[in-house]
Amino acid sequence: MATPQSRIYFTEEEYLAIERASEERHEYIDGRIFAMAGESDQHGEICVNLIGHLFAQLSGKPCRARAQHTKVRSGPEPKPSQSPEGFYSYPDVLVVRGERKFHDKYRDVLLNPYVIIEVLSKSTEAFDHGEKFRRYRTWLPNLTDYILVLQDNPVIEHYRRQSNGEWVLATLDGLDAALRIESIGCSLKLSDVYDGVQFHPQNASIENDLPA
């Protein structure tokens, strides 16, 4: 990832002005702007499967799903007198319930997602598990479910916010498993989530190099 200009730090309003004029997507983290990498074939397949099955199940409900092109602000309300502190991201899939709340009149930065789903990659896995999740659970009070989907194996990690504010993890493993998202009344079979995904054996290259 790299910043799009020679400057290092930008205000949030500067970032939004740059982003709204750009054909590429960038994330903003505490004053710094990072270009987003392209997706793999597996990543794209999983995202399409997720949004397709969620869309079908949310029809007629007061919920809406979005995929990859909706910005989310996870930080305090920006103030000109303060040093840059904030996080703007593009979740792979999100669901909002009821009235959508936005950052400003442009209505392109969402403030109240209920469900966020991220498809993990090797370059983002540590960040998605760590700092990103910390910011989501700190600054998104409406967030009830944070879901991480592995690409290379049929495994989903489902974090759920409890009534006392604590988060509980449930791990679903295998194509026979199913993910239940109670907050929006949806179920996702892992066989549907990973439909069309070609898994590559982790040890294939090692086995091929072993002497006969």
Which DSSP string do the residues of 3-53 spell out, in sequence order? -SSS-S---HHHHHHHHHT-SS-EEEETTEEEEPPPPPHHHHHHHHHHHHH
**Pairing status of strand 145-149 against strand 115-119:** parallel
How do the pLDDT tens digits run along the chain, 212 residues long? 444 455 688 999 999 999 999 999 999 999 999 988 878 899 999 999 999 999 999 999 999 999 888 999 998 887 766 667 799 999 999 999 999 999 999 999 999 999 999 999 988 899 999 999 999 999 999 999 999 999 999 999 999 999 999 999 999 999 999 999 999 999 999 999 999 999 876 544 434 444 44
What is the predicted pLDDT for the residue at 204? 42
110: closest CA among 93, 96, 92? 96
Q: In whole angstroms, what is the distance from residue 143 CA to residue 50 CA?
A: 18
Give the predicted TM-score (pTM) of the model.
0.89
What is the predicted pLDDT for the residue at 6? 57
Residue 69, Cβ density class (10 Å: 0-12 exposed, 13-18 middle, ≥19 buried): exposed
Q: Within 10 A of 24 (CB to CB), how many other CB atoms are there?
A: 9
Amino acid at 117: I
What is the predicted pLDDT for the residue at 81? 60
